Structure 1
Amino acid sequence: MSNIPLTVKRSIELLGLMAIVTIVVIGRDIIMPMLMAFFISIMLLPVYRFLRKKKVPETLAIILPILLVAIFVSLIVWFFSNQIGILVKDFPQIKANVTQHINSLSDWISRITHYNGAEQKAFIQGKSDDLMNMGTSLAGGAAVTLSGVFVFIGLLPIYIYLMLFYKDILLRFIFMWFKTDHHPKVKEAIYETESIIKSYLIGLLIQITYMTILLGGILMLVGIKHALLIGVIFAILNLIPYVGALIGNVIGVLLTLTSSQELWPVLTVLGVIAFVQFLDNNILMPRIVGSKVKINALFAILGVFIGGSIAGVSGMFLALPVVAVLKIIFDRTDMFKQWGVLLGDERPARSPMTFPIFRKKKSVPLKSGTEKEE
C-alpha cells in the first residue's frame, strides 16, 4: 500500500465510502436491527459478566438481561398507552381549546391583513381536505411501517442473544483481519469502543430519567396539564442530537395549547424546557457522557440528518454512537487518521494555513493546551 500514489489512495477511500453508504441504504432493514442489537448487547455486557461470575449458566445469563430490557420497553409502551387514553378522554375539551385558539388567531390575522374570516375558513377547509387526502394515501404506507416496526422489535432479542452467545467468534474474526503486530491496537480500539458505547448509552438512560423528573416534576408543580407526558416525550426526543430538542419544544407547545385556552402555560413550558436544557447541556450531561464522546457539532448534526435519511428515526438515534465508533477506528489507523481529525473537536492551537506543522499526522498542541493526535 505504501507504493500506491496518494491520489489513488484517496480515490479508493471515497469509493469505499460510497460503497458502504450504498450497502447501508439498500440493506437498512437488515443492518439497522443488527446495529441496534450490537449497541444494546454492549450495554448488557456488564450484567452478563456479573451473572457469569456468579456461576449462572451462560444461556440464562444472556436471557435475563434481555428480559430486563423487554420489561423496560414494556413499561414505556404502557406509559404512552395510558397517556394517550387520557388524551382521548379529554378530546372534547381539546377540541374546544383548539377552536378557541384558531378563532383568536383568525381575529389577529383579520386585524393585520385584508383576509376576512370567511376567506380564512375557506383556506383552512381546503388545506384540511388536502391533509385528509394525503392521510388516506399514506394509510397503507403507515401499515407497512408499523409491521416493519414489529419485525424490528421481534428481531432485536434474537440478535442480542446470538451476539452475546457468539461474541468470541466475532472477536476472533476481527483479530484475524489484521496482522499480529497490529493486534495491540485492535485490542485497545475494541476496549475503547466498548467503554464509549456503554458510557454513552447508560448516560442516555440516566439523562432520560433526570430530564423526565426535572421537566415533568417542575411542570406538575406549576400546574401544567400532561406535564409528565411532555417531560417523557422531550427526554426521549432529546436523545436525537440538536434536532430532537427542537421537535420536543414544538410538541410540548402543541400539547399545552390543546389543554389550555390561555397563553401563560405555553410560556411556562418554554421557560422550564429552556432551564432544564441549560442544566442538561452545561452541568449534568458533560459530567455523565460529554467527556467520552468527542464529536464536533457540525458532523454530529450531519450524522443525525444522514442517519435519518438512510434509516429513519432509528438512524437518527444511532448516528452519534456510530460516528464515535468510526472516530475510534480512524484515530488508530494511519491511512484514515485524517478522517478522525475531521470528526473530532480537537482544534489545533494555530491555523494550518500559516503553520505547516499543523498539517501533518502527528501530535500537535491544541487550543486547550493538551497534546492530541492531529
Structure 2
Amino acid sequence: MIELPVTVKRSLELLGLILAGALFVWGQTIIMPLLMAFFISLMLLPALRFFRKHKVPEAIAIFLPILLLFIAIGLIVWFFSSQIASLVADFPQIEKNVGKHLNELSGWIAKKFNYSVSEQLKFVDEQSNKLLSSTGAILGGAAGSVGDVLLFFGLIPIYIYLILLYKDLLLRFVFMWFDPPQHKNVEEGMRAAESIIKSYLIGLLIQITYITILLGGILFLFGIKHALLIGVIFAFLNLIPYLGALIGNVIGVLITLASSTEILPIFIVLGAIAFVQFLDNNILMPRIVGSKVKINALAAIVGVILAGTLAGISAMFLALPIIAVLKIIFDRSEQFKQWGVLLGDERPAQSPLKFPSFRNKKSTDKPTTQEKL
C-alpha cells in the first residue's frame, strides 16, 4: 500500500470536513430528523429490551416506548401552553409596566446623551416602518418554518420506529465496513457511544425536571410572577451548552421587567438562576451524567455555534452528543486520534514545546526521565 505524505493526509481531512459541512447544510431537512431519531432511539433502547425480555411482541415493544415518550412531550407542551396563557392573561398589566419602564428609559437617555424624547420617538417610528415593510417576507418565512417543523416532528416517530426495528441490520452494515480484526474495537466504540448518549440524554430529561421545579419553586416563594414559566424556559434553554444559560437569563429578566414595576425582583431572578446554575454545574449534573462526556469548553461552544449556523436550533441541542460520538470515533482511530485530543478536556501535564513526549499520539501523563534531566 502506498503511504500518502502527511500534507496530503491533512489536506484530505480538511476537504472531508468542508464536504461534511456542505452536506449537513444542503441535507439538513433529511439529516436532522434522522440524527434526532437516532439519539432518541438509543435512549429508548432500555425500555425496548425490557418489553422484549417480558415476551412482548416486537412491534408493540417498539411502539410502547415511543407512545410513552410522546405522551410525556404532550404533557410538557400542555404545561408550557398553560403558562403562556397565564402570561397573556396579564397582558393589560404587562403593557402598563412596559410603558412605565420605557418612559423611565427614555428620560434616562434624554438626560445622559442629550437625545430628546421627540428625537427618540422619531427614531422608533422610522424603525417601526422598516419593520412593517418587511412583515410580508417575515410571515412568508414563518409559514414555511411552521411547515418544516410539522414535517420534522412528523418524521421523527416514524424514523425512531424504523431505526429500532432495523437496529440489527444497521449494526451489521457498520461491522461490514471493517476487517474482522477491527470488529472488537468497533464494538467497544459502539457500546461506549450508546452508554454516553443514553447517560447524557436521560440526564438532560432529569435536568429539565429539577431545574424547572427548583428555579420555579424558589421564584414562587419570593413572589415572582410567572415563576414556573421562567423556570421552564430556562430549563430548556440550558440544554444548549453555555449559550442557552445566557439567553435564559435575558429572557427571565425581560419577563420579570414586563410583570413588575420594581427593580428588586430582577435581582431575585438573577440570584436564583445563579444559585440553581451553581448547583446544576457543580453538584447535580456531574452526579447524574458523571464524567463520561469529556468535551472541553472551547470545542463545546464552537460546536454549538457551528451547529446552529449550519442547521438551526435543533442542531444546537444535539451538538454536544454529536461531538461526544465523534470523539469516541476519533479516539479509537490511529489516523484521527489528534482530532479526539482537540475535542477532549485531557490537558497534558506539561507544555509539548518543552517536553517532546507530549507531542506523540500515544497518551502520557508525565514527562520521561530523560526530559526531567
Normalising by structure 2, report the TM-score.
0.96
Please name the residue that 2:159 is paired with: 159
Distance 1:341 1:363 in 2: 10
**1:81-230 correspondence runs (5 A):** 81-230=81-230
Q: In structure 2, what is the Cα distance between the partners aligned to 1:80 and 1:199?
A: 26
Check conservation: 2:25, 2:310, Cα contact below 8 A: yes
Task: Give the paired residue count.
Answer: 367
The SS at the match of 1:67 is helix
Counterpart in the other structure of 2:73: 73
2:259 paired with 1:259: yes
User: SS of the residue aligned with 1:363?
Assistant: coil
For residues 162-210 of structure 1, give each alpha carbon's deviation from its aligned partner in whole angstroms, at most 9, with x where no partner exists. 0000000000000000000000000000000000000000010111111
Contact 2:97 2:260 in 1 (8 A): yes
> Matches of 1:290 and 1:239 in 2, distance apart?
16
Deviation at residue 282 of structure 1 after TM alignment = 1.2
Structure 2: distance between partners of 1:185 and 1:252: 47
Any idea what the Cα deviations from partners look like across 1:5-24, whole Å, max 9, x if unmatched?
A: 22221122112111111111
* Matched position secondary structure for 1:364: coil
Give how far 1:290 is off.
4.5
- Shift, 1:34, TM fit: 0.2
- Quote the Cα distance in structure 2 between the aligned partners of 1:42 and 1:243: 26
> Matched residues in 2 for 1:147 and 1:226: separation?
30
Q: Distance in 2 between matches of 1:14 and 1:2?
A: 21
Which residue pairs with 1:350 in the alignment? 350
Provide structure 2 residue ranges, at least 5 long, that are not aligned to the other structure. Answer: 368-373
| Larger CA deviation: 158-167 vs 262-271 | 262-271
Contact 1:241 1:300 in 2 (8 A): yes
Q: Deviations over 1:333-365 (max 9, x none)?
A: 000001000100001111111111111111200
Deviating 4+ runs (over 4 angstroms): none
RMSD: 1.3
Query: Aligned partner of 1:156: which letter?
Result: I
- Cα deviation per residue 1:37-62 (whole Å; 9 max; x = unaligned)? 00000000000000000100000000
C-alpha displacement at 1:93, in angstroms?
A: 0.9
Q: What's 2:339 paired with? A: 339
Cα distance in 2 between the residues matched to 1:349 and 1:2: 36
Structure 2 CA distance for aligned equivalents of residues 288 and 18 of structure 1: 36
Runs (5+) with no aligned partner, structure 1: 368-374
Q: Is the 8 A contact 1:347 1:366 kept in 2?
A: no
SS of corresponding position for 2:364: strand
Residues 346 and 366 in structure 1, CA contact (< 8 A), matched pair in contact too: no
1:275: which partner in 2?
275
Deviations along 1:99-146, whole A, 9 cap, x unmatched? Answer: 000011111112212112211222222222223333332110011001
Which whole-Å deviations, capped at 9, do the CAs of 1:273-314 have from their partners, x for residues lacking one? 111111111111122225010000001001000110111110
Q: Secondary structure of 2:336's partner?
A: helix
Identity %: 66
CA distance in 1, matches of 2:296, 2:117: 49
Change (3 A) 1:258 1:193: same
Q: Partner letter of residue 104 of structure 2?
A: S
In 1, the alpha carbon distance for the partners of 2:366 and 2:229 equals 43
Kept in 1: contact 2:80–2:232 (CA 8 A): no
Contact 2:95 2:258 in 1 (8 A): yes
Q: Distance in 2 between matches of 1:18 and 1:259?
A: 47
Match for residue 370 of structure 2? none
| Alpha-carbon distance between aligned partners in 1 of 2:134 and 2:282, rounded to the nearest angstrom | 42
Counterpart for residue 370 of structure 1: none
Conserved? CA contact 2:97–2:261, under 8 Å: yes
Amino acid at match of 2:70: A
Q: 1:207 to 1:2 in 2, by over 3 A?
A: farther
Moved more, 243-252 or 7-16: 7-16
Residue identity opposite 1:115 in structure 2: Y
Say which structure, 1 or 2, has more relative contact order (CA 8 Å, 6+ apart).
Answer: 2
